[in-house]
């Protein structure tokens, strides 16, 4: 939180790293969210 | 449906119902303030000044009005573009809500601009093609026309204008595509408008992705508004609904709840990216941070979860409650961006708070919308298929 950034490179490295981690977590969250949302739905028979 | 026969046998209702009396008082007060606004000028009825040239008429009537009218493009896209025909009965009420919503946005704008008689100048006389406001104005002008044409078949069925109706129905797909394109453009541009004021909007709400936030939030705002409006319609116009409408209604409610939940989850993640990319986490520990978290957790994460629970359990009461909560959340968000977090660095004496007359005009505009909605629903085939045109829907 209180990190001091001396260069733009430092700032972008930090903020983009955090964003990439969040992206991964977001994708995982989305998959679990979809399961949670649809697991009680009637399953479509595909055969 | 046999509304005419039931109307002739039913006893005449008194005009002085509580709804009519309250609506009448609001309209009367609104007309008096309208007279004052157009005879004595905008300064006589508002608390606007050079620091705060945009007030509640922009925040509520325009930003909230446009977002909440997004149900038109989402519902018609779901039905006609994605082929989800089970939502067909929801299209006409959604288009009507959107049409009235946009019409009232333009109506309310007449109060807010200095010279309302020049409202059409940017479209026909002096195009400011480098301005986002021009793009918003052009899109709203075009989309209002599209919505009017999309709504016209209902009026044609009422007035028995068969030939015109036939031509208009053939345009449905083109109009839907046009509507989605225009909505994508101006819903996002309304957010992008605030990109011009990075020093005025609080960093928690200011983001290079404002346009994206406004567009994505308009999707669940519109769908929630369709659910909310559906709840009110079922309560007040139940006798006007035909079997198809009543049979499809539960599917529409759970389907829209599921869609809202998915979009809100995505919106929440995007808002996190907005914080992360500019490293704004430290602002969360401030007073504005608490407000931001209330908005994000209380009005996005919580309703997304409640929508999911409602869709899983087929709990339509919970979904309808959540729709109202989400609509309030959108109003909260648009107010935060354009009022609360705007000019946040000014001393409190210079901050804007609307005058009672500004609030009264906003109430007046909403009341005019409700009255127009009731007038149209009780006369035109909105909640039922006209018996003469059943095969052609």
pTM of the model: 0.90
CB atoms within 10 A of CB B361: 26
- Dihedral, CA of residue B224, residue B230, residue B232 and residue B238, to nearest 10: -170
Shortest distance between the Cα of A47 and any Cα of chain B, in A, equals 22
Provide the ipTM: 0.87
What are the C-alpha distances in Å from B306 to residues B58, B71, B169, B186, B328?
30, 20, 37, 29, 15
pLDDT score at B310: 94
Q: Which residues of chain A have a CB within 8 Å of the CB of B265?
A: 29-30, 33
**Contact predicate B280/B203, CB 8 Å:** yes
Pick from B261, B273, B282: which is nearest to A37 by CB?
Answer: B261
Contact B276 A15 (CB under 8 A): yes
- B201 DSSP β-pair partners: B342
Pick from A22, A33, A37: which is nearest to B272 by CB?
Answer: A22
- Per DSSP, the three-state class of B16 is coil
Contact A19 B308 (CB under 8 A): no
Indicate whether A22 pLDDT > 80: yes
pLDDT score at B2: 46
A28 interfacial to chain B (CB closer than 8 Å): no
Q: Which residues of chain A have a CB within 8 Å of the CB of B258?
A: 37-38
Q: Which residues of chain B have a CB within 8 Å of the CB of A11?
A: 279
Pick from A11, A15, A40: which is nearest to B312 by CB?
Answer: A40
**Contact predicate B67/B217, CB 8 Å:** yes
Q: What is the DSSP string of B195-264?
A: GG-TTTB-TTT--TTHHHHHHHHHHHHHHHHHHHHHHHHHHHSGGG--HHHHHHHHHHHHHHHHHHHHHH
Compute the distance between CA of residue B221 and CA of residue B227 in angstroms, rounded to an integer: 10
Shortest distance between the Cα of B88 and any Cα of chain A, in A, equals 21
Per-residue burial over B35-71, b = 16 or more CB atoms within 10 Å of its CB, e = otherwise: eebeeeebeebbbbeeebebbbbbbbbbbbbbbbbbb
Q: What is the DSSP string of B285-297?
A: GSHHHHHHHIIII
What is the pLDDT tens value at each position of chain B, 393 positions in all? Answer: 444 444 455 566 778 888 899 999 999 999 999 999 999 999 999 999 888 889 999 999 999 999 999 999 999 999 999 988 888 888 999 999 999 999 999 999 999 988 889 988 888 988 888 888 899 999 999 999 999 999 999 999 898 888 898 899 899 899 999 999 999 999 999 999 999 999 999 999 999 999 999 999 999 999 999 999 999 998 888 888 888 888 888 889 999 999 999 999 999 999 999 999 999 999 999 999 999 999 999 999 999 999 999 999 999 999 999 999 999 999 999 999 999 999 999 998 889 999 999 999 999 999 999 999 999 999 889 888 887 776 655
């Amino acid at each position: 939180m209180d990190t001091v950034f001396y260069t733009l490179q430092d700032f972008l490295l930090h903020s983009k790293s955090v964003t990439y981690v969040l992206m991964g977590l977001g994708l995982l969250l989305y998959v679990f969210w979809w399961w949670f949302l649809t697991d009680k739905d009637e399953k479509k028979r595909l055969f | 449906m046999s509304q005419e026969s039931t109307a002739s046998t039913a006893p005449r209702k008194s005009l002085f119902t509580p709804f009519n009396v309250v609506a009448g008082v609001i309209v009367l007060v609104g007309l008096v303030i309208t007279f004052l606004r157009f005879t004595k000028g905008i300064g006589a009825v508002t608390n606007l000044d050079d620091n705060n040239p945009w007030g509640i008429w922009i925040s509520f009537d325009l930003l909230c009005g446009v977002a909440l009218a997004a149900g038109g493009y989402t519902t018609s896209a779901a039905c006609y573009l994605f082929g989800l025909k089970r939502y067909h009965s929801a299209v006409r009420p959604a288009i009507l809500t959107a049409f009235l919503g946009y019409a009232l946005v333009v109506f309310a704008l007449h109060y807010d601009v200095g010279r309302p008689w020049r409202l059409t100048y940017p479209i026909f006389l002096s195009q400011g093609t480098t301005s986002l406001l021009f793009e918003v104005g052009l899109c709203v002008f075009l989309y209002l026309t599209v919505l009017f044409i999309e709504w016209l078949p209902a009026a044609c069925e009422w007035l028995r204008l068969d030939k015109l109706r036939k031509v208009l129905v053939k345009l449905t797909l083109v109009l839907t595509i046009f509507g989605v394109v225009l909505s994508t453009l101006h819903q996002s541009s309304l957010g992008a408008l605030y990109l011009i004021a990075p020093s005025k909007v609080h960093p928690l709400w200011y983001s290079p992705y404002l346009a994206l936030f406004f567009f994505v939030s308009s999707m669940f705002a519109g769908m929630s508004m369709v659910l909310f409006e559906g709840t009110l319609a079922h309560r007040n116009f139940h006798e006007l609904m035909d079997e198809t409408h009543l049979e499809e209604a539960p599917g529409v409610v759970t389907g829209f709840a599921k869609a809202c939940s998915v979009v809100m989850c995505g919106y929440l993640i995007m808002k996190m990216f907005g914080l992360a990319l500019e490293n704004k986490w430290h602002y969360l520990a401030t007073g504005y941070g608490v407000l931001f978290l209330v908005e994000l957790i209380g009005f996005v994460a919580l309703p997304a979860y409640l929508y999911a629970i409602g869709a899983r359990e087929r709990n339509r009461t919970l979904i309808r409650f959540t729709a109202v909560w989400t609509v309030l959340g959108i109003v909260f968000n648009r107010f935060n961006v354009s009022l609360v977090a705007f000019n946040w660095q000014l001393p409190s004496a210079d901050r804007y708070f609307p005058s009672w007359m500004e609030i009264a005009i906003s109430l007046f505009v909403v009341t005019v919308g409700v009255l127009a909605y009731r007038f149209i629903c009780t006369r035109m085939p909105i909640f039922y298929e006209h018996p003469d045109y059943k095969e052609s829907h």
